[in-house]
Amino acid sequence: DIQMTQSPSSLSASVGDRVTITCQASQDIANYLNWYQQKPGKAPKLLIYDASTLEIGVPTRFSGSGSGTDFTFTISSLQPEDTATYYCQQYDTLLPLTFGGGTRVEIK
Amino acid sequence: EVQLVESGGGLVQPGRALRLSCATSGFTFGDYLINWFRQAAGKGPEWVGFTRSRTYGGTTEYAASVKGRFTISRDDSKTIVYMQMNSLKTEDTAVYYCEVGGYWGQGTLVTVSS
């Protein structure tokens, strides 16, 4: 199985701060990576696919980069509504699909 | 608008069976691979399995943890995906979601407990 190592597991930042989350795959997954946002009691919401493509309707303060094994997710200016848990997920052809452990983002 | 609505969850004893449904609308059902995911309380999401599109014969793949116990099927005429879950274990307790193209349903809770 492809292991996804996501860090940090949690962070606290102020409104307007730049926030960065990293995700490392245990093997090359090209750009087959999603980033999800999940709020309590809700289903995950897809923010970014193919490592860097913003889903329609998602604010442009969210961005993703990387390929191969190392990926980064950035919120350029943290907003109160961004409080959530964020997950990376790989969808390489090698099953199973796997997720990172999640990053809980809180407002300081 | 893509819509996915899961149903069929509930409380079931270990060793028993349950069938979940995922009713869909808003996209060309037969053209899409559809996933099932689950999420135990306080944990991250976990992939359960999928059914491929009509082009690929609707064939299925499963996570090792459910292979041989869960069966995914699709009814292209009704645009519904099913997941038959047999020999349920306490560790199958989770919210179960169907997903297509990045769209997720609201989930249905399955609780396996005596």
Which DSSP string corresponds to A37-89? EE-TTS--EEEEETTTEEPTT--TTEEEEEETTEEEEEESS--GGG-EEEEEE
Strand A10-13 to A103-107 pairing: parallel
For residue B100, what is the nearest residue in chain A, using CA coordinates? Answer: A46
Chain B residues with beta carbon closer than 8 angstroms to that of A49: 102
Q: What is the pLDDT of residues B40-90, one digit of tens each?
A: 999 999 999 999 999 999 999 999 999 999 999 999 999 999 999 999 999
Q: Does B61 touch chain A (CB under 8 A)?
A: yes
pLDDT of residue A4: 98
For residue B104, what is the nearest residue in chain A, using CA coordinates? Answer: A43
pLDDT of residue A94: 82
In terms of Cβ atoms closer than 10 Å to its own Cβ (0-12, 13-18, 19+), residue A76 is middle
Strand A33-38 to A84-90 pairing: antiparallel
Q: Does B102 touch chain A (CB under 8 A)?
A: yes
What is the DSSP code string of B52-106? --GGGTT-EEE-TTTTTTEEEEEETTTTEEEEEE-S--GGG-EEEEEEETTEE--
In terms of Cβ atoms closer than 10 Å to its own Cβ (0-12, 13-18, 19+), residue A80 is exposed
- Band (pLDDT 50/70/90 cuts) for residue B94 is very high
pLDDT of residue A103: 98
Average pLDDT rounded to a whole number, residues A61-81: 98
In chain A, residues 72-101 whose CB comes closer than 8 Å to chain B: 87, 89, 95-101
Query: What is the number of alpha carbons within 13 Å of residue B9 lying toward its C-beta?
Result: 18
